[in-house]
Structure 1
Amino acid sequence: MRVLAIDTALANCAAAVLDNGADTACYDSVGEEIGRGHAEKLMDMIGEVMAETSTAFSDLDRVIVTVGPGSFTGLRVGLSVARGFGLVLGKPVVGITTLAAIAKSSAPDDGGAPLLVALTGKGEEVYCQAFSASGDPESEAGVRTFSDLAATLPEGIRLAGSAAESVAEKCGLPQDRILSRCGYPGIREVAELGLVADPAKSSPSPLYLRPPDATPQTKGRIERQ
């Protein structure tokens, strides 16, 4: 199976082509930590990895895209491009969470304590999810506060993600519990998870864990009868 993977959810902008076939195996990726401006970079990155792997769009079996948690603007860029390709090509589009991809790259697979992937949120909030030592989800993704985590984290928990340092500090955990401080997923892990995901259960829909700060303006609006 040959796939195109896209990640614009967080600070990184990345694209990759991965083929796991015995006779057609290939992999190429490009990425840059840019913070903003994903829309200006993404299409050039896609063109580069498609060219480097001699892949035509008709060769793709599916398109994979990160669905969050992440920035509203970044998610919109990646999801729009992925859905557009899927529609034109008539191929499935698979959504992979940033938390799951970070867990895949960080989980030690040693049969030990679970892993909490934690991303920096608003103020005292953390966007997080618990995974087993092999990277399988053990809870739903959600928004937690540092005080809540301090009271409920299981003994021996290990940490990964951009908020790992803060969680360790505020929950009194030793530094050796931190397996990774990376604030965005690796594009290869996104591609590998997308290869095995069931398109029927991995919708390319944004994962928003909290409502937007902005609210619709109501002052001066005329009520409709």
Structure 2
Amino acid sequence: MNILALDTTTEMCSVALMIKRVVYENSIITSQGHSDHILNMIDLLLVEAETSLSTIDLLAFGKGPGSFTGLRIGIGIAQGIAFAQDIPAIPISSLAAIAQSHESRKSLVAIDARMGEVYWGVYEKKDSGLAVLRGNELVCSPQKAPCVQGSDWLGLGSGWKSYKDQLATRFNKSVIGWNSECYPRASAIATLGVNAFIHGKSVIAEEILPTYIRNQVVKN
């Protein structure tokens, strides 16, 4: 199965191809330029892999939560490709993708949601190496992020930069550190996408929708 994966939900714009289990990936940090880069990045990766969109069997995309502007760009690209190529799509949480992008087995993932809040998810990797959600993803203030049991958790995501003091204080007995520069990589989305497809979680182009979590959308 050949997979195209993409994510534009955070400062990182990331594209990956999984062709016969060989992964090609290109990622850049750009706070405002996702629309200027994403299509060209896809084209360059197809050239590198010596293939074309007509060979792609499955599209995996970051469904959010994250930046409203970046999320809408990614959703639009995903819809366009899925329609044009008539292929199924797999929506993947950007919080899950962050957890999958790091080697840590136990992750407290926080994306800055603005308005004094974070998008929050607790993930743990099983023997399969796949990040699995514990509980529910939610939006909350850093001070009210749900407590976790045990230790050796690693904080991941931009929320650990914007609200470092609050999160570090709340989880001082649980975390061993944090990496605020960890972003959702398209290669991680491809990996999670394969598993989701096996479990029948694909959607058609018309069903490709963003996940905001918060009812009130912040345009950033």
TM-score by length of 1: 0.81
Q: Quote the Cα distance in structure 2 between the aligned partners of 1:102 and 1:188.
A: 11
Counterpart contact for 1:107–1:115, Cα < 8 Å: no
Alignment partner of 1:119 is 2:107: no
Counterpart contact for 1:64–1:96, Cα < 8 Å: yes
Q: Quote the Cα distance in structure 1 between the aligned partners of 2:170 and 2:107.
A: 15
Residues 57-107 of structure 1: CA deviation (Å, up to 9, x unaligned) = 111001111111111111111111111111111100111111001111235
Determine helix, strand or coil for the equivalent of 2:64. Answer: coil
140-149 or 167-176: bigger deviation: 167-176
Alignment partner of 1:173 is 2:172: yes
Mark the CA change 1:51 to 1:141 in structure 2 (over 3 Å): closer, same or farther.
same
- The structural deviation recorded for 1:133 is 4.1
Counterpart contact for 1:61–1:92, Cα < 8 Å: yes
- The structural deviation recorded for 1:212 is 2.0
Structure with more relative contact order (C-alpha pairs < 8 Å, separation 6 or more) = 2
Determine helix, strand or coil for the equivalent of 1:138. Answer: strand
Matches within 5 A, 1:141-220: 141-149=137-145, 152-156=147-151, 157-164=153-160, 166=164, 167-171=166-170, 173=172, 177-198=176-197, 200-201=200-201, 203=203, 204-210=208-214, 211-213=216-218
Counterpart contact for 1:130–1:138, Cα < 8 Å: yes
Q: Quote the Cα distance in structure 2 between the aligned partners of 1:123 and 1:101.
A: 23
- The structural deviation recorded for 1:170 is 3.2
Counterpart contact for 1:69–1:127, Cα < 8 Å: yes
Residue 58 (structure 2) aligns with: 62
Mark the CA change 1:152 to 1:28 in structure 2 (over 3 Å): closer, same or farther.
closer
CA RMSD of aligned residues (A): 2.3
Query: One-letter code of the match for 1:209?
Result: I
Mark the CA change 1:133 to 1:107 in structure 2 (over 3 Å): closer, same or farther.
farther
Q: Quote the Cα distance in structure 2 between the aligned partners of 1:163 and 1:82.
A: 26
Percent sequence identity is 27
- The structural deviation recorded for 1:27 is 2.2
Determine helix, strand or coil for the equivalent of 1:143. Answer: strand
Find the partner of 2:84 among 81, 85, 88.
Answer: 88
TM-score by length of 2: 0.83
Residues 143-182 of structure 1: CA deviation (Å, up to 9, x unaligned) = 1222223x73434243221223515433151696225322
Q: Quote the Cα distance in structure 2 between the aligned partners of 1:137 and 1:175.
A: 17
Counterpart contact for 2:101–2:182, Cα < 8 Å: no
- Give the total of aligned pairs: 205
Counterpart contact for 1:13–1:34, Cα < 8 Å: yes
Q: Quote the Cα distance in structure 2 between the aligned partners of 1:102 and 1:185.
A: 4
32-41 or 126-135: bigger deviation: 126-135
Query: One-letter code of the match for 1:212?
Result: V
User: Runs of at least 4 residues of structure 1 off by over 6 A?
Assistant: none
Q: Quote the Cα distance in structure 1 between the aligned partners of 2:218 and 2:78.
A: 26
